[in-house]
């Protein structure tokens, strides 16, 4: 096993540390934007539910399990026609039944309608919280499992936030690019960002090569500077500045970004050349002390 000091002396391990930090910074840069949109989505869903009622009604008596038929694909584990579901419908209080106020079933339908694949992650979300907690609805768009106890945007990991933006139709017009749907479409910036999160988290060697680190910074920088919404978001822009600091060479990150966006005046050849550091002594070295 590598020693602790190797994290600071071996280039690829230092890179991994930088990549980890970059993901953490990007996550904090996305938080206010994602949190605000979760609130807007929540308001829109409540409005849609109430639009078909005489007066705004509320219900906090239904469990998510009550609103799902059994078996529900990907959720239930009922065996045979008379078997017992040990997943969500495991006792008398958790059996499928209509919402007495005719509210939760409508909220359920609206959540499905807003899901790109119509398969919300029901295990993550508690219907009893839907009326008052926007984050509880956001969690229906996260990966299928593992987020039930997460109560806020700060509490949620990078993968959860990216999945929310990818799986919820509410975000469809909030980026300058089309969100890639399905495995057969070319990856969009969000798909690439999600992949970064996985790569960094699951790196068995805790190593990242120079070209991979460069790609990580480029993708996260491009995402946080997306001109549609995030480029106007103060926290996203602050994260961008921190990312540049972590990269160790702010000029380099900006040039990558300029190259990807074909900004006039940027030099694509220069943008990819780490040897720039040798030419211009004012630029900080990519690996200080190495
Ligand atoms: Zn079931
Ligand atoms: Zn209800």
Distance 166 CA to ligand 1 centre (A): 27
Q: Which ligand is nearest to the CA of 103?
A: 2
Pairwise CA distance, residues 231 & 55, whole Å = 39
Pairwise CA distance, residues 287 & 290, whole Å = 6
Q: Which ligand is nearest to the CA of 94?
A: 1
Counted domains in the chain: 1
Provide the 8-state DSSP code for 83. P
Q: Is the pLDDT of residue 182 over 80?
A: no
pLDDT at 246: 86
The per-residue pLDDT for range 235-254, each reduced to its tens digit, is 999 999 999 888 775 444 44
Q: Helix, strand, or coil here: 168?
A: strand
User: Which percentage of the chain shows pLDDT scores above 90?
Assistant: 65
Q: Which ligand is nearest to the CA of 129?
A: 2
pLDDT at 36: 98
Residue 263 lies in a domain: no
Most confident of 65-74, 177-186, 195-204, 223-232: 223-232
Distance 200 CA to ligand 1 centre (A): 35
Q: Is the pLDDT of residue 45 over 70?
A: yes
Distance 107 CA to ligand 1 centre (A): 19
> Domain residues for 126?
8-73+87-247
Most confident of 30-34, 185-189, 211-215: 30-34
The per-residue pLDDT for range 82-107, each reduced to its tens digit, is 778 988 999 999 999 999 999 999 99
Long-range CB pairs of 43-47, under 8 A, 24+ apart, other chains included:
43/134, 44/170, 45/107, 45/110, 45/111, 45/114, 45/137, 46/107, 46/131
Residue 21 lies in a domain: yes
Residue 177 lies in a domain: yes
Q: Which ligand is nearest to the CA of 106?
A: 2
What average pLDDT does range 200-218 have in this prediction?
A: 92
pLDDT at 285: 38
What average pLDDT does range 158-185 have in this prediction?
A: 93
Residue 233 lies in a domain: yes
> Is the peptide bond preceding residue 71 cis, with omega within 30 degrees of 0?
yes
pLDDT at 186: 86
What mean pLDDT is reported for the chain? 85
Please, is 112 exposed, middle or buried when counting C-beta atoms within 10 Å of its C-beta (0-12, 13-18, 19+)? middle
What lies within 8 Å, CB to CB, of 171 at 6+ separation is 37, 164, 165, 179
Q: Helix, strand, or coil here: 115?
A: strand
Distance 82 CA to ligand 1 centre (A): 12
Distance 103 CA to ligand 1 centre (A): 21
Residue 128 lies in a domain: yes
**What are the CA-CA distances from residue 114 to residues 60, 78, 283 (Å)?**
22, 27, 47
Q: Which ligand is nearest to the CA of 62?
A: 2
What lies within 8 Å, CB to CB, of 155 at 6+ separation is none
Neighbours of ion ligand 2 (CB under 5 A): 59, 62, 99, 104
Confidence of residue 22 (pLDDT cuts 50, 70, 90): very high
Q: Is the pLDDT of residue 167 over 70?
A: yes
Residue 199 lies in a domain: yes
Lowest mean pLDDT among 15-24, 55-64, 199-208: 55-64
pLDDT at 283: 32
The model's pTM:
0.83
Residue 277 lies in a domain: no
Distance 193 CA to ligand 2 centre (A): 37
**What are the CA-CA distances from residue 224 to residues 31, 76, 190 (Å)?**
11, 38, 11
Pairwise CA distance, residues 212 & 139, whole Å = 30
Nearest to 161 by CA among 147, 177, 148: 147
Residue 254 lies in a domain: no
């Amino acid at each position: 096993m590598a020693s602790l000091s190797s994290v600071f002396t071996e280039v690829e391990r230092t890179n991994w540390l930088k990549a980890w930090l970059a993901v953490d910074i990007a996550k904090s840069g996305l938080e206010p934007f994602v949190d605000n949109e979760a609130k807007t989505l929540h308001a829109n869903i409540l409005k849609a539910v109430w639009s078909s009622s005489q007066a705004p009604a509320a219900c906090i008596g239904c469990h998510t399990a009550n609103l799902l038929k059994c078996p529900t694909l990907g959720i239930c584990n009922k065996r045979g026609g008379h078997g017992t579901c040990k997943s969500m419908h495991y006792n008398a209080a958790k059996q499928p039944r209509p919402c007495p106020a005719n509210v939760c079933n409508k909220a359920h339908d609206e959540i499905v309608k807003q899901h790109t694949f119509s398969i919300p992650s029901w295990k993550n979300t508690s219907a009893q919280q839907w009326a008052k907690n926007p984050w509880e609805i956001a969690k229906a768009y996260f990966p299928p499992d593992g987020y039930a106890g997460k109560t806020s945007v700060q509490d949620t990991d990078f993968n959860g936030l990216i999945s929310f933006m990818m799986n919820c139709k509410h975000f469809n017009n909030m980026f300058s690019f089309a969100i890639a749907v399905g495995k057969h479409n070319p990856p969009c910036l969000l798909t690439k960002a999600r992949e970064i999160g996985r790569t960094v988290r699951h790196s068995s060697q805790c190593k990242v090569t120079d070209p991979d680190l460069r790609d990580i910074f480029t993708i996260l920088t491009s995402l946080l500077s997306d001109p549609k919404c995030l480029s106007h978001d103060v926290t996203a822009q602050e994260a961008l500045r921190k990312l540049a600091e972590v990269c160790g060479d702010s000029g380099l990150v900006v040039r990558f970004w300029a190259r990807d966006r074909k900004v006039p005046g940027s030099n694509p050849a220069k943008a990819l050349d780490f040897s720039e550091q040798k030419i211009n002594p004012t630029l900080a070295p990519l690996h200080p002390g190495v």
